[in-house]
Chains A and B, each alone.
Chain A
């Protein structure tokens, strides 16, 4: 047999070389784009820390917001602004809590319902409504809560009205995450339960929910992180308050409301940064915990 004239090896080498270069270029592009994406968040966090750390001390967490004269005096004598944002922290936690105890059970139940009836017509209608609800601007939800709760139920701005708006924001998020989580539970696990004679509702309670539990919790945490920074709907509903309030029928403060208030007061500017830092910390912590749960589950 004649020896082939063509150098097969060199063809392959040529190919390998050009692929190597393409790989390099491609990963260069990917790295650059990733940097562009993460730089805002890094810059934001750095800025918040640089400008906000001064104000973060014990009284920041244990005292309510100062009034503008106290702040002005402190600035003039070169001190940090006294007081803290306790009324905002408690208000945020209180309203998120109220919204959660409404949204979690309803969201889980509707999510389970959608999962079980996914192909039926009325389930699809519910699904569409959920999607629409998810897209409604939060200020509109605030308006709705204003007309329903502020005007007719609590007869004034209130924690109830604020948490109602947050509840409607949370609801579609939990519904969809519940449905998606349950969909990820393999049918074979469900059938294993059926083959043991386990009735339907017990399969849902004792097989599906435990199997998808980490996903359900993750969905809830992410929905909380989504609403905890909401400002617009609270302006029209909870209004804000200078003192700590745990009465659902009274106006209540929240961290984002305080930030807005501080922004409107030239003496309080320093508190904007520390409050934003705390809010950012909440959101990041919720996200990191969720990530942790997800990665544990995937192990």
Chain B
């Protein structure tokens, strides 16, 4: 599969090896997934509801560690380093996450939301550092012009699409290597969705983007690579252009042609 995708060792930001996740003993939601994620590309994870897309994504930044019942097997390497040897704070500084519903911290202002990762971890920032991080992150998500005069207002006053961009800015504030997004546009209207899609394409210049999406046309529009998952298995992984035109697996074909959803 590696040869097929032409991902060189040095190009693989994430290297997932034999990853399995069980929510309770023996009940696997994800089974034996191996894949490499290429640097500075948008990689989409597709598949029907319940196939394990979110589960994989959350395994990558070890969100499952919070729940003692969940068992994770296999390894994830970030830039060649086994993530199980990294502290969670280091890992999550390098792998940002954006959720399905915009979730800015309701008690924090817009600018505090951007630097929430620093604030909540108790990392002190000098005034000019804080200002620069806030400005840069908001510019990166094309929100700066819209909010630069109301940085001290609560983040929850923004529209849904703006809130989601704020959450992306929050993830960018650590300058991560990878950004994980779990259906980031499913709660947004088409205009806000389009903005986020354009944003993701622009962001891949500096970041690697792994995007779970329900929406096949979204995957086709913005992803360079696509994974198709079914019943916890990674069925097919390839260049999006090739996969959408000429899927190799029958199940992928059936999914793409809408035989099941």
Taking beta carbons and an 8 Å cutoff, which residues of A are in contact with B? 186, 188-189, 191-199, 202-203, 206-207, 210-211, 213
Question: In the bound complex, what is the Cα–Cα distance between A163 and B55 (angstroms)?
Answer: 51
Q: Indicate if B89 sits at the interface (CB-CB under 8 A).
A: yes
A202 touches B121 (CB 8 A): yes
- Report whether A197 and B92 are in contact in the complex, using a CB–CB cutoff of 8 Å: yes
Q: B100-141, CB under 8 A of A: which get 1 and which 0?
A: 010111110000000011011110000000000000000000
Q: How far is the CB of B1 from chain A (nearest CB, A)?
A: 28
A206 pairs with B106, CB closer than 8 A: no
| Interface contact A192-B99, CB-CB below 8 Å | yes
Interface size on B, residues (CB 8 A): 28
Contact A194 B120 (CB under 8 A): no
The smallest C-beta distance from B231 to any residue of chain A, in angstroms, reads: 25
Residue pair A196, B117 in contact (C-beta under 8 Å)? yes
A residues within 8 A CB of B105?
A: 189, 192-193, 207, 211
Quick one: which of B99, B119, B171, B174 contacts A188, CB cutoff 8 A? Answer: B99
Distance (Å) between the CB of B155 and the closest chain A CB? 11
A193 and B120: CB pair below 8 A?
Answer: yes
Residues from chain A with Cβ under 8 Å of B93 in the complex: 197
Bound complex: CA of A196 vs CA of B92, how far in Å?
A: 6
Residues of B within 8 A of A210 (CB): 107
A194 to B104, alpha carbons, bound, how many Å? 13
Offer 15 A-B interface pairs, CB within 8 angstroms, sorted by A: A189-B105, A191-B63, A191-B103, A192-B167, A194-B66, A195-B61, A196-B120, A196-B174, A197-B90, A197-B91, A197-B93, A198-B89, A203-B120, A207-B120, A211-B107
Please measure, in the bound complex, the distance between the C-alpha atom of A194 and the C-alpha atom of B63, giving whole angstroms.
7
The reply to whether B103 and A186 form a contact with Cβ atoms under 8 Å apart is: yes
A197 contacts B107, C-beta separation under 8 Å: no
Q: B78 within 8 Å of A by Cβ?
A: no
B103-A198 in contact (CB<8A) = no
Residue ID in chain B nearest A202 by CB atoms: B120
> Nearest residue in B to A205 (C-beta to C-beta)?
B120
Please measure, in the bound complex, the distance between the C-alpha atom of A213 and the C-alpha atom of B105, giving whole angstroms.
13
Partner of A197, one of B66, B101, B121: B121
Contact between chains at A213 and B107 (CB < 8 Å): yes
By the criterion CB–CB under 8 Å, are A198 and B121 in contact?
Answer: yes
Establish whether residues B89 and A199, one from each chain, have CB atoms under 8 Å apart when the complex forms. yes
Given A189-B106, A213-B107, CB of A196 within 8 Å of CB of B121:
yes
Please name the residue on chain A nearest to B98 by beta carbon: A195
- Name the residue in B63, B89, B91, B105 with the highest tally of chain A Cβ atoms < 10 Å from its Cβ: B105
B232 within 8 A of A: no
**Complex contact B97–A195 (CB within 8 A):** yes
Q: Does B170 contact A (CB under 8 A)?
A: yes
Min CB distance, B153 to chain A, in Å? 14
A206 x B99 contact (CB < 8 A): no
Distance, CA A195 to CA B92, complexed state (A): 6
Evaluate contact between B96 and A195: CB separation under 8 angstroms: yes
5 shortest A-B CB distances, which residue pairs? Answer: A197-B92, A197-B89, A195-B97, A196-B117, A188-B103
Whether B215 is near chain A, meaning CB under 8 Å from some CB there, is: no
Q: When the two chains form their complex, are residues A197 and B63 in contact, meaning their CB atoms are under 8 A apart? A: no
Residues of B within 8 A of A202 (CB): 120-122
- In the complex, what's the smallest C-beta–C-beta distance from A173 to chain B, in angstroms? 24
CB distance from B229 to the nearest CB of A (A): 21
Q: In the bound complex, how far is the Cα of B101 from the Cα of A207, in angstroms?
A: 18
Q: A193-B120, A197-B93, A211-B107 are in contact. List 10 more A-B contacts (CB 8 A).
A: A189-B103, A192-B99, A193-B116, A195-B61, A195-B63, A196-B92, A196-B117, A197-B88, A198-B89, A206-B119
CB neighbours (8 Å) of A211 from chain B are 105-107
Residue of A whose beta carbon sits closest to that of B122:
A202
Query: How far apart are the CA atoms of A211 and B174 in the complex, in Å?
Result: 23
> Which of A189, A196, A213 is most buried by chain B, counting CB atoms within 10 A of its CB?
A196
Cα distance A196–B167 in the bound complex, in angstroms: 11
Instruction: Give bound CA distance, A228 to B43, whole Å.
Output: 62
B61, closest chain A residue (CB): A195
Please name all residues of chain B whose beta carbon is closer than 8 Å to the beta carbon of A203 when the two chains form the complex: 120
Assembled-state Cα–Cα distance A199/B87 (Å): 11
**Which residue of chain A has its CB nearest to the CB of B102?**
A188
| Chain A residues within 8 Å of B92, by CB | 194-197
Residue of B nearest to A206 (CB): B120
Give Cα A202 to B121, complex, Å. Answer: 7
CB distance from B55 to the nearest CB of A (A): 14
Chain B residues with CB under 8 Å of A195's CB are 61, 63, 92, 96-97, 99, 171
**Residues of the A chain whose Cβ atoms lie less than 8 Å from the Cβ of B66:** 194
Given A202-B121, A202-B122, answer yes or no on A196-B107 (Cβ-Cβ < 8 Å).
no
Shortest Cβ distance from B117 into A: residue = A196
